[in-house]
Amino acid sequence: MPDAMAQPLLDVRGLKKYFTVGRRGTLKAVNGVSFSIRSGETFGLVGESGCGKTTAGRVIVRLYEPTEGAVYYRGKDISRLARREAAEYTHNVQMIFQDPYASLDPRMTVEAIIAEGMRPRGMYSRGESRDKARELLSRVGLSPEHAQRFPHEFSGGQRQRVGVARALAVNPELIVCDEPVSALDVSIQAQIINLLRKLQRELGLTYLFIAHDLSLVKYVSDRVGVMYMGSLVEVASAEDLYRSPLHPYTRALLSAIPVPNPIEERGRRRVLLEGDVPPPLNTPDQCLFLGRCPHATDRCQQGMPQLAQAREGHWVACAMNEELNVDAYTI
Amino acid sequence: MPKLLELEDLRVSFHTYAGEAQALRGVNLTLDAGDTLAIVGESGCGKTVTAQSVMRLYPKGAADYKGGSIRYKGEDLLTLSERQMRRIRGREISMVFQDPMTSLNPTVPVGKQIMEGVLKNGSRESKRVTRRDARLRALELLEGVGIADPETRMGQYPHNLSGGMRQRVMIAIAMSCSPDLLIADEPTTALDVTVQAQILELMKSLQSRGNTSIIVITHNMGVVANIARKVAVMYGGVVVERGTVEDIFFRPRHPYAWGLLRSVFRLNKPKDEPLTPIDGTPPELIDPLPGCPFAERCAYTMRVCASGMPPEFAWGEARACRCWLYGPGCPVIPAEWEEYSHA
Amino acid sequence: MAEAAYGVPVHTALLSADPTDSHTYDYTPLPNTAIRSGRAARPPVSYWRDALDRLLRNKTAVASFAFIILTALFGFAGSSLMPGFTKQDLYNTFLPPLSPGHPLGTDELGRDLLARLARGTRISLTIGVTVSVINLVVGLAYGGLSGYIGGMADVVMMRIVEIVTAVPEMIILLLLLTVLKSGMGTLILALCLTGWTGMARLARAQALQLRENEYVLAARVLGASRLWIVLRHMIPNALGPIMVRFAMSVPGVIFAESFLSYIGLGIAIPEASWGNLAQLGANQFPNHIWLFFIPAILFSLTMLAFNLLGDGLRDALDPRQRR
């Protein structure tokens, strides 16, 4: 997305990632996604399961090669980095994983887990990396005495803190947080979110925050992109997206979230969608929300709608955008 | 009026390699006929164990019922034989699980799975049901849970259906005997929000049609607000607070409930307002400390909290809280009382 | 007043408690760190330590392990102490057990059964363990590589495994054993040629599964090399199921060896093995039953012990049993 002010830290342009499924199927996990992240901000990527948000995150940390399109980090295409640059990139861009039970090797001590990223760098001696691991433990709210313990001795929230410390160990600029709290209990989720926000303030980190929970994404992000079946359907500031969502899918998503207040919840007018999200296999060239959209017309069958700026900083990919814009929407 | 379900001081333990895990440490609950109760709490708080104990799903030897009673229509389920229990499970109480994929048989068409239940348990009116009747009933049930084109769906296998559709089939199976009590254990946790909204609507409409009482087990306060009339908040193997849904959301009394409500993400929460998490980690089930399970994370911990499990302090029969703040002569006045009295 | 809004609770539980209890409650504040620190910190326990503890608590597995060790001791120490397992004594044939000088009796050529049994145990165990180790190493390298590289190489390598598996094991064994000079080396070669595929498949399945694990992904995001990932993450985490498979494969190999020796294709007399001891015993079956039953019982018990130990290992290493 064009941003005249400054070069974005991360720029994703026309990103596509297809997987072959069986003999004939092509799973278009990410199907032409473009967005950019400015230094120091939190960009939220939200969508239901299978919408491609995790795949997009994994392309950004170079776990997957893009099928088409590119990711630019500080203006450089990350799939065309020289060896040295690639090593540097892995230290600039880190990831926090969803499942704190699966993302820590059960056979390693917490200290070894945190020090794992420091090792290939070769800039720390054994003793130094040990000290650094202990320092990181206290930074993420664990006791340095925990260094010699094993992951199974910790609760979910504590493990996720170890995961955060591991990512921080290489002094990254951008952290891709892939559903960092969805496996945790409610009272623990807030602890981890507070930790992530504290670290952002202290270290000037930039986050790509991937989650399915729109109320969480809205709370942590400056800007939010909504994904549906591999495409971005709407990008706006978190406040704007929540106050005046433009895409019918975003509206349905917002209205589907149960509000933790019984009186408000009873009085709500819901946009109930029909059916489930179909898997993005061999998708036709039309609006993919067509089958479930309450506002669909013939125009929606004429090619996949592209993101267009509806108003300052608010982008939406919907053929019916102008018409829908008229009818004011509140939750 | 007799209660449909009454749990009194239910204690259940499991024996593990590491020692005895005290999953339930004295659960008290009541459920009126036709009511919807949400049991809310975090993982390991005992909400699933409570449900599975009511259904007596744990095989003998796996779970150790250490005390208390589960009275269903006045009869203690813990004293029933396995055969009597099977009758209750099939006809009176049924259950919907979190993951519909693992609770449906992948090798049998869904229609047949619904018919099996109908054939086995008979209908309300007569014990014997013909295959034709069972088929009609299955079609009716599928239609009743909002599945379009039930004729086609009957012949399909679970893997042909989407997650939301499978959960609808599970609900159809559970409703096939027109149960008096439906226990739904995290019925929407594995589903996307847009599908969750559909399933919640479905459960509410089923209840308004029949006279089924529902127990919903969930960790999501939004789901509680959406569906429940009564709420039981569980922590560390006990119900720490129970009351109507309004009581819990607007006049909560237990410090854990205060913390839980504060740490929930709300769409209208401004970004600059910090979250107030509950410090510390969930309690241990093995070798729990004596006293209140929440004492190690509570902001109002007193000496008495560390020494003895607080009893249930009650305000009427449907409103109770296990917290020493309500003990006789307790001088502490928490700030939350003031805060919630204005709400 | 806020407190009034909350009303006074009914202290049902307290009232129903012992009425003579004039206990008053201590409502002085207590910092909850005091409660947290009251929980004794457990020393860090590594995964292997934990698994070992569980294994040691499993009496059947410990007993099986002890039995295997004793059998091995009997085989190796016994055969060294009693080298005369081929010594014939035609004046003392078919001595029953508990005869002077021959605690287990003698066979039709007057050879001491105890010495022969020790020798046979040594040979059978050696073959069982050697073949299993070779299969382990070959299978692990082959399967691990196949699974880790993936793609076309994986397809080709797995087709080869399928071809090897498709040809009946016995055909390969019989062919090799008739063409080559019979003896321990040939037998080991023959059993290895057919036996490595099982381990290769297991190793591949493990590699495929572990490759997608989040901690392996995390290591890749941190820039770890392939070698590091294999050595540091994949092998330690695959070790559990592989050890179980190893323990279970030893009795299989011993059985194959014994069967081949029994039908006369494996270890040839006068060399001893459990298989040919049992075969000799079977020839004398109705008249001198000890010649058959003594080796057969030791053989069966050892099989059982290996299987029970494998079960115990699986239980001890199964992460689902962990808290």
Statement: residue C11 has pLDDT above 60: no
The C-alpha angle A273, A274, A277, rounded to 5 degrees, equals 85
Q: Which chains touch B (3 or more CB pairs under 8 A)?
A: A, C
Looking at the complex, does the CB of residue B200 fall below 8 Å from at least one CB of chain A? yes
Q: How many domains does chain A have?
A: 1
Q: Do B271 and A219 touch (CB under 8 A)?
A: yes
Q: pLDDT, tens digit, for every residue of A64-92?
A: 999 999 999 999 999 999 988 988 999 99
Mutate to test the interface with C, among A85, A116, A145, A175 (most CBs of C within 10 A): A116
- The residue of chain C with its CA nearest to that of A99 is C214
Q: Are C295 and C277 in contact (CB under 8 A)?
A: yes
Q: pLDDT, tens digit, for every residue of C191-243?
A: 898 889 989 999 999 988 888 889 999 999 998 888 888 888 988 888 888 88
pLDDT interval class at C17 (50, 70, 90): very low
Which segments of chain B have a pLDDT < 70? 1-2, 122-127, 343
Statement: residue C260 has pLDDT above 50: yes
**A235 domain-assigned:** yes
Q: pLDDT, tens digit, for every residue of C34-78?
A: 776 655 556 667 778 888 888 898 899 999 999 999 999 999 998
Q: How far is CA C224 from CA A83, A126, C228, C232, in A?
A: 13, 17, 6, 10
For position C18, what pLDDT does the model report? 46
Q: Which chains touch A (3 or more CB pairs under 8 A)?
A: B, C
Q: How far is CA C124 from CA B107, C80, C133, C250, C264, in A?
A: 45, 15, 14, 10, 15
How close C30 gets to chain B, by Cα (Å)? 5
Statement: residue A322 has pLDDT above 80: no
Q: Are C54 and C315 in contact (CB under 8 A)?
A: yes
**Sequence ranges of the domains in chain C:** 70-81+116-321
Cα–Cα distance for residue pair B301/C32, rounded to 1 Å:
6
DSSP secondary structure letters along B240-256: EEEEEHHHHHHS--SHH
Looking at the complex, does the CB of residue B324 fall below 8 Å from at least one CB of chain C? yes
pLDDT interval class at C101 (50, 70, 90): confident
For position B24, what pLDDT does the model report? 94
Statement: residue C284 has pLDDT above 50: yes
- The residue of chain C with its CA nearest to that of B331 is C27
Tell me which chain B residues have a C-beta less than 8 angstroms from the C-beta of A191: 277-279
List the one residue out of A125, A126, A143, A123 whose CA is nearest residue A134: A143
Q: Do A102 and C42 touch (CB under 8 A)?
A: no
Q: pLDDT, tens digit, for every residue of C286-303?
A: 888 888 888 899 999 999
For position A2, what pLDDT does the model report? 47
Task: Find the CATH number of the domain harbouring A174.
Answer: 3.40.50.300
Q: pLDDT, tens digit, for every residue of A182-213?
A: 989 888 999 999 999 999 999 999 999 999 99
- The residue of chain B with its CA nearest to that of C22 is B328
Q: Do B314 and C9 touch (CB under 8 A)?
A: yes
Q: Are A36 and A1 in contact (CB under 8 A)?
A: yes
Q: pLDDT, tens digit, for every residue of A163-174?
A: 999 999 999 999
Statement: residue A35 has pLDDT above 90: yes
**A98 domain-assigned:** yes
**A241 domain-assigned:** yes
Average pLDDT over chain A, rounded to an integer = 88
Cα–Cα distance for residue pair C246/C189, rounded to 1 Å:
18
Q: Do C219 and A104 touch (CB under 8 A)?
A: no
Bridge partners (DSSP) listed for residue C138: none
**A22 domain-assigned:** yes
Average pLDDT over chain C, rounded to an integer = 83
pLDDT interval class at A120 (50, 70, 90): low
**A103 domain-assigned:** yes
How close C11 gets to chain B, by Cα (Å)? 5
Looking at the complex, does the CB of residue A63 fall below 8 Å from at least one CB of chain C? yes
B residues 276..315 contacting A (CB < 8 A)? 276-279, 281-282
How close C15 gets to chain B, by Cα (Å)? 10
Domain span at residue A161? 10-245
Tell me which chain A residues have a C-beta less than 8 angstroms from the C-beta of B196: 256, 258
Asked if this assembly's ipTM is beyond 0.95, the reply is no
- The residue of chain C with its CA nearest to that of A102 is C214
Tell me which chain C residues have a C-beta less than 8 angstroms from the C-beta of A210: none
Mutate to test the interface with A, among C222, C230, C320, C322 (most CBs of A within 10 A): C222
Pick from C2, C31, C321: which is nearest to B341 by CB? C2
Structure tokens, B301:
């911990």
- The residue of chain B with its CA nearest to that of A249 is B194
State yes or no: cis peptide before A151, omega within 30 of 0. no
For position B215, what pLDDT does the model report? 96
Query: What residue ranges define each of the domains in chain B, with the CATH number in brackets?
Result: 5-92+179-342 (3.40.50.300), 100-178 (no CATH)
CA atoms within a 13 Å half-sphere pointing along the CA-CB vector of A67: 15
Q: What's the whole-number mean pLDDT along residues A233-256?
A: 92
Measured in Å, how far apart are chain A's first and last C-alpha atoms? 28
Cα–Cα distance for residue pair A131/B259, rounded to 1 Å:
35
Statement: residue C14 has pLDDT above 60: no
Q: What's the whole-number mean pLDDT along residues A116-132?
A: 79
Structure tokens, B185:
């254990």
Pick from C3, C10, C34: which is nearest to B333 by CB? C3
Q: Do C323 and B330 touch (CB under 8 A)?
A: no
Tell me which chain A residues have a C-beta less than 8 angstroms from the C-beta of C218: 95, 97, 103, 116, 163, 166
Bridge partners (DSSP) listed for residue B217: B39, B185
pLDDT interval class at C4 (50, 70, 90): very low
Q: Are A102 and C212 in contact (CB under 8 A)?
A: no
The b/e string for B144-183 (b: 16+ C-beta within 10 A; e otherwise) is bbbbeebeebbeeebeebbbbbbbbbbbbbbbbbbbbbbb
Q: Do A272 and B246 touch (CB under 8 A)?
A: no
Pick from A188, A216, A261: which is nearest to B249 by CB? A261
Statement: residue A6 has pLDDT above 90: no
- The residue of chain A with its CA nearest to that of C319 is A106
Statement: residue A147 has pLDDT above 70: yes
* Candidate CATH numbers 1.10.3720.10, 2.60.40.420, 3.20.20.300, 1.10.287.130; the one for domain C70-81+116-321: 1.10.3720.10
Amino acid found at A89:
Y
Instruction: Find the length of chain A.
Output: 331
